[in-house]
Amino acid sequence: MWTSSDSCGGQMRHQPTTSRVPNDGASLSVSSLSSANFALKLTADDNEGKCSTEVLNTIRHNFYVDDCLKSVPNESKAICLMKKLRSVCTTGGFKLTKWTSNSCAVLASVPIEERAKEVKDLDLDKDKLPIEGALGMRWDIESDMFFFSITPKQPSVTRRSILSVLNSVYDPLGFLTPVMLTGKGILQDLCKLNCGWDESIPTAYTDKWKEWLKDLNLISSLRIRRCLRPPDFEATGAQMHHFCDASERGYGTVSYLKLTSDGGLPHIAFVIGKARVTSLKVVTIPRLELASAVLAARIDRMLKSELELTLRDSASRGMKAETFLQEGHWLRGPDFLMQPETDGPVIQVPPTMSDGDREVTKVLMDPGGAFCHGPA
Closest CA to 277 of 257, 297, 251: 251
* Per-residue pLDDT, 33: 65
Closest CA to 201 of 213, 212, 186: 186
Taking the C-alpha atoms of residue 1 and residue 153, their distance in angstroms, rounded to an integer, is 59
pTM, entire model: 0.70
Closest CA to 115 of 101, 102, 135, 129: 101
Q: Taking the CA atoms of the chain, what radius of gyration do you get in angstroms?
A: 29
Per-residue confidence of the chain (376 residues) as pLDDT tens digits?
445 555 555 555 556 666 555 554 444 455 566 787 888 899 999 999 898 999 999 999 888 878 888 988 889 999 999 999 999 999 999 999 999 998 899 999 999 999 988 888 888 877 888 888 766 678 888 888 888 888 777 778 999 999 999 998 888 899 999 999 999 999 999 999 999 999 999 999 999 999 999 888 888 888 999 888 888 888 888 888 999 999 999 999 999 999 988 888 899 999 999 999 999 888 899 999 999 999 999 999 899 888 877 665 444 444 555 665 666 655 666 666 677 766 655 544 444 444 443 443 333 345 556 656 666 5
Q: Residue 266 pairs with which residues in a beta bridge? A: 260
* Per-residue pLDDT, 353: 41
Give the angle 242-247-249 at the CA atoms, nearest 5°.
Answer: 115
The SS3 call for residue 318 is coil
Give the angle 188-286-334 at the CA atoms, nearest 5°.
Answer: 145
Q: Which residues contact 263 (CB under 8 A, 6 or more apart)?
A: none
* Per-residue pLDDT, 337: 65
What DSSP string runs through 212-249? HHHHHHGGGG--EES-SS-TT--EEEEEEEEEEEE-SS
